């Protein structure tokens, strides 16, 4: 009798153990499937620019919208190309933070900064038109480039097109690959 009771209790414990093992395996498998789905899923964000809460920019890691690229290029060109001898070094430093490799871009911009400082030149760039060429990974920004020489109040105004070639890193950051004026680089 005692053996029969022991046998019954043992078989019930084995069934409970098998059931709990089965539940554990099912939960583990479902968690693994969810992890794989989350890792392979493309992230989607909606960026709301601070001063303009009505304008929302949808963004994902693999598909950058034209509006986002235009805003990025607008801020970049306006900030970099609007400088004076006192702000030139800071603008160069800020720009080099977002370049993919700063080799030729850095040398070219340092030369321009030295020219600005030695000749006391101030510049301002006002973007007017934008063109996004996603296949070439470029943003073309056309605008008015104002150059002030010394204390002269009358600027030299030129219409210039700046070409920004970009790439994205593994974390989804947009980096400048090349920066040149139209007609300067083929």
Instruction: Give yes or no: residues 49 and 101 share one domain.
Output: yes
State the distance between the two ends of the chain, measured CA to CA, in whole angstroms: 96
8 A C-beta contact, residue 176 and residue 166:
yes
Range list of β-strands (E), 62-186: 121-133, 138-149, 156-168, 174-181
Tell me whether residue 11 is in a domain. Answer: yes
Q: What is the CATH number of the domain that holds 128?
A: 3.10.450.230
The boundaries of the domain holding residue 50 are 44-181
Domain count within the chain? 2
- DSSP at 52: -
Per-residue pLDDT, averaged over 22-40, amounts to 92
Instruction: Give yes or no: residues 75 and 2 share one domain.
Output: no
Residue 176 pLDDT greater than 70, yes or no: yes
pTM of the full structure: 0.67
Tell me whether residue 64 is in a domain. Answer: yes
- pLDDT score recorded for residue 186: 46
8 A C-beta contact, residue 99 and residue 106:
yes
Residue 173 pLDDT greater than 90, yes or no: no
10-14, 58-62, 88-92: least confident range = 58-62
- pLDDT score recorded for residue 110: 87
Tell me whether residue 186 is in a domain. Answer: no
Residue 14 pLDDT greater than 60, yes or no: yes
Q: For the segment 97-152, what is each residue's pLDDT rounded down to a tens digit?
A: 777 666 677 888 888 889 888 888 899 999 999 999 989 999 999 999 999 888 77
Over pLDDT 70: what percentage of the chain? Answer: 83
Instruction: Give yes or no: residues 7 and 55 share one domain.
Output: no
- pLDDT score recorded for residue 166: 87
């Amino acid at each position: 009798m005692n053996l029969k009771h022991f046998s019954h209790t043992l078989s019930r414990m084995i069934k409970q153990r098998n059931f709990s093992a089965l539940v554990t395996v099912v939960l583990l498998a479902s968690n693994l499937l969810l992890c794989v789905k989350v890792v392979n899923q493309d992230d989607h964000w909606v960026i709301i620019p601070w001063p303009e809460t009505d304008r929302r920019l949808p963004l994902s890691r693999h598909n950058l919208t034209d509006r986002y690229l235009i805003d990025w290029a607008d801020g970049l060109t306006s900030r970099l190309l609007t400088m004076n001898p006192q702000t030139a070094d800071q603008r160069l430093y800020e720009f080099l933070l977002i370049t993919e490799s700063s080799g030729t871009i850095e040398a070219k911009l340092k030369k321009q900064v030295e020219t600005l400082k030695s000749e006391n030149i101030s510049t301002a760039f006002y973007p007017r038109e934008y063109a996004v060429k996603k296949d070439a990974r470029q943003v073309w920004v056309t605008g008015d480039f104002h150059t002030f020489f010394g204390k002269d109040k009358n600027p030299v105004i030129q219409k210039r097109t700046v070409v920004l070639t970009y790439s994205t890193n593994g974390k989804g950051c947009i980096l400048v690959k090349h920066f040149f004026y139209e007609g300067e680089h083929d």
